[in-house]
Structure 1
Amino acid sequence: MKRVLPRLASALLALAACIFSPRVRATTTDEQVAELVKNYTGSLVFVEDKGGAGSAFACAFGKQKFVFTNQHVVAGHPGVKLTLLDQSPIRVGQAAAAVGHDILSLALLSDTKTMDMMIEVEKNASIGDDVVVLGNPDGARVIKPLVGKLVGIGPNLIEVTAEFVPGNSGSPIVHLKSGKVIGVATYLTTRDADGLAGRGTPKVRRFGYRLDSAKQWQPIVWPAYNEEFATIGRIKERTHDLGLLIREMARTGGVDASRQKNPAIRKPLDRFDEALSGKGPFKTDRVHAVKEFMTAMRTVTQSDIEKANARLRYDFFRKELTEEQQVRAEFYKIFDEMLKVAPK
């Protein structure tokens, strides 16, 4: 009996400890997200101008502080205004473009609270971890957290399932468990020849560029940077118009010059129409006119690409040029095949 009493007393004491000790309630994902929004509201930045809006955030990077966003958010918008949720302005200094990343940094001059960045993401985060994108959906000046999972980690990119929209581009992707930024949200519509020529639909990718892997930065000289943006814009416009032309030719078996506004495309079309109607300076048959047109269109697919390739210096725009070049190579093949099957 004496041996039983100590055991019984120990059991009762253990039971009492369980009953009367304060219970630790597990923190839910929603509560963690709410806490993040509360802590980092003062670090989230709105990027706005007359043409639209995007997102950015203040973050410590090493021993310095910066505002980070995507390059595509500010490119071509020299007059952007940076403000916090309370509409107070942010003062920034020298801008720089990350090599191999769609990330732009602006030296933070204001006394603004900053977020923390995770280093060595591949070691400190795991596939399946919860993440949250804190941003400005559709440029509505509303901070809306979007929760998802980390589903991929690459040298420069992370893949996430959080379904953010274009207005979220430039937002921080936060690792929920640590509360640290692991990437800059980037909404991208993939351009390819099939989609532009009407043989498929554009693909949307949602991922983030890692901050910790951005090692090289190019100082931005705004006039030169914006001129390169304009150059790429003109190239994309021609790519789009070439896709429309190919789509029309495939659908109707012909072309309507009046529907083309791009001068690089319109000029060969006008010459083709003149040759067929007999209004040109030289008489020619239909076969020769078709061959001249296809030859000219092959040149149109490459001429602006070649000029830009010799001039562009910023890595971000050179990468965009490479993507356009791949699409144009497919267009070149289409016109080349048409030329090969033309009657001799």
Structure 2
Amino acid sequence: MNSAFKTALLLLVAALAAVPVVAETESDEEAREKQRKRNELKNKQESQALISAQFSYGFSDVADKLVIISCKSEQGKTFGSGFVARMDGKTYIFTNQHVIMGADKISFKTASGTQLKPRSVELSLTRDIARLELETDHAFDIGNEVEMDIPVAVFGNSEGAGVGTELFGVVNGLGAELVETSAEFVSGNSGSPILNLSQEVLGIASYVRVSRNHAMKEGTKFENQTRRFCYRLSGVEWKSVRWTHYNKQYGKLYRQSEMLYNGIFEIIKNWSESPLAKVSIEDNPERSLHSWAKSHNEVISRFDRSSAHKRQLMTEYAESLKKLSGVCRGRARQISMFSEQRELTGFLREEFEKQSGSLDYAAQWIDQCSAMIYSQR
């Protein structure tokens, strides 16, 4: 993310200063990488077929224990996955906290079409997991024995499309809280169960990490690789919460701040391609961006109409960027204060700290960009 920010902002300054920016052609390294991926695809498909052949069950056999989660909020409609499993003598829906956080309305439906109505919400103190108690006879058992290289299946709601998918892989990493797998789950699979050959849950699909190029990784299995991690369900400490209060107080801020950061990053990315284009954020409901975008687009309109007062217009452009950095810093301070609340789970506290740091970082680079524009008027 850091390098993308720097590249976008430097290109913005260059364009505003009327310095030609020549698009880079595809490098030999990029061409080799594309060819490598093409070569890997066939091997990957063959490997998937070999792994899936070891499973005596498929999606339809476990559909009544898989949960498709639909969330509505002012940010729109989102989807995630979950599953029903037994733990501590009770039955729960399990999913990731980030799937349901900030939603105004949440519905739970099994992949076989049965609506579920959970009664209470508990959150893991340290991991991105939530469990919601309910009554049903259809539930997975949780397996505590996990070994390297064993085959696993991920059945869930890939890309939030509401369509069940089957993904297969092996366990290729183990930790006290995490399991790494080669099964290529994606965003909509967040909350899906990681199942072994016996239909036991070994973990919950939670996040994807892209391993960037780095000299220390050259020649290793971590070079330019996407890695996928699942939280284990053993050894979890749970906290019962009043969901309506907790979600209104913290969940909505978490989701709003996520939208703010995504919106700002999208603006900066678009600037690298067309710094004098008007900012379009109609699809982003974050209110703090809209008033800024309106005034910024007025500056852009004056750029369009006149080149006679370039110095003045660049000054206005630089000042507009300062206002945007102020939006970032204001939200970063708010999030930082909320991260100190004692009733937060560790997951949400860490998320607030990350969001605050990311928005502060964005503000610093926008300020530097503004200063560079001032200096080149």
Give yes or no for TM over 0.5: yes
Q: Kindly tell me: are residues 288 and 74 of structure 1, through their superposed partners in 2, closer, same or farther at Cα, counting changes over 3 Å?
A: closer
2:358 alignment partner, one of 317, 327, 331: 327
Q: Kindly tell me: are residues 157 and 276 of structure 1, through their superposed partners in 2, closer, same or farther at Cα, counting changes over 3 Å?
A: same
Aligned to 1:113: 138
SS of the aligned residue for 1:97 comes to strand
Aligned to 2:201: 181
Say if 2:336 is the partner of 1:309.
yes
Equivalent residues in 2 for 1:19-30 (5 A)?
30=52
Aligned to 1:214: 236
2:252 alignment partner, one of 200, 206, 230: 230
Q: Which amino acid aligns with 2:138?
A: K
Deviation per residue, 1:190-222 (Å, 9 max, x gap): 7x9xxxxxxxxxx96532121114224352422
Q: Which amino acid aligns with 2:229?
A: F
Deviation per residue, 1:256-296 (Å, 9 max, x gap): 5664662353376379679999xxxxxx9678656644543
Query: Would the aligned equivalents of 1:268 and 1:297 in 2 still touch at CA under 8 Å?
Result: no
Equivalent residues in 2 for 1:242-281 (5 A)?
242-252=264-274, 254-256=275-277, 259=280, 262-263=289-290, 265-266=292-293, 269=296
Percent of aligned pairs sharing the same letter: 22
Q: Which amino acid aligns with 2:116?
A: I
Q: Which amino acid aligns with 2:125?
A: V
Q: Kindly tell me: are residues 82 and 340 of structure 1, through their superposed partners in 2, closer, same or farther at Cα, counting changes over 3 Å?
A: closer
1:60 alignment partner, one of 86, 90, 95: 86
Structure-2 separation of matches of 1:289 and 1:265: 13
Say if 2:157 is the partner of 1:132.
no
Structure-1 separation of matches of 2:170 and 2:321: 49
Equivalent residues in 2 for 1:42-191 (5 A)?
42-48=64-70, 51-108=77-134, 110-119=135-144, 124-138=145-159, 143-176=164-197, 179-188=199-208
Q: Kindly tell me: are residues 340 and 267 of structure 1, through their superposed partners in 2, closer, same or farther at Cα, counting changes over 3 Å?
A: same
Structure-2 separation of matches of 1:321 and 1:189: 19
Displacement of 1:155 in angstroms is 3.4
Structure-2 separation of matches of 1:330 and 1:66: 39
The answer to which structure, 1 or 2, has the higher relative contact order (CA under 8 A, 6+ apart) is: 2
Name structure 2 gaps, 5 residues minimum: 1-49, 213-224, 283-288, 305-310
SS of the aligned residue for 1:59 comes to strand
Q: Kindly tell me: are residues 147 and 260 of structure 1, through their superposed partners in 2, closer, same or farther at Cα, counting changes over 3 Å?
A: closer
Structure-1 separation of matches of 2:366 and 2:300: 18
Q: Kindly tell me: are residues 85 and 244 of structure 1, through their superposed partners in 2, closer, same or farther at Cα, counting changes over 3 Å?
A: closer
Displacement of 1:302 in angstroms is 1.1
SS of the aligned residue for 2:69 comes to strand
Structure-1 separation of matches of 2:104 and 2:314: 50
Structure-2 separation of matches of 1:270 and 1:36: 53
SS of the aligned residue for 1:127 comes to coil
Q: Which amino acid aligns with 1:97?
A: L
- Structure number with greater Rg is 1
Q: Which amino acid aligns with 1:222?
A: T
Question: After alignment, is 297-306 or 203-212 more displaced?
Answer: 203-212
Aligned-residue RMSD, C-alpha: 3.8
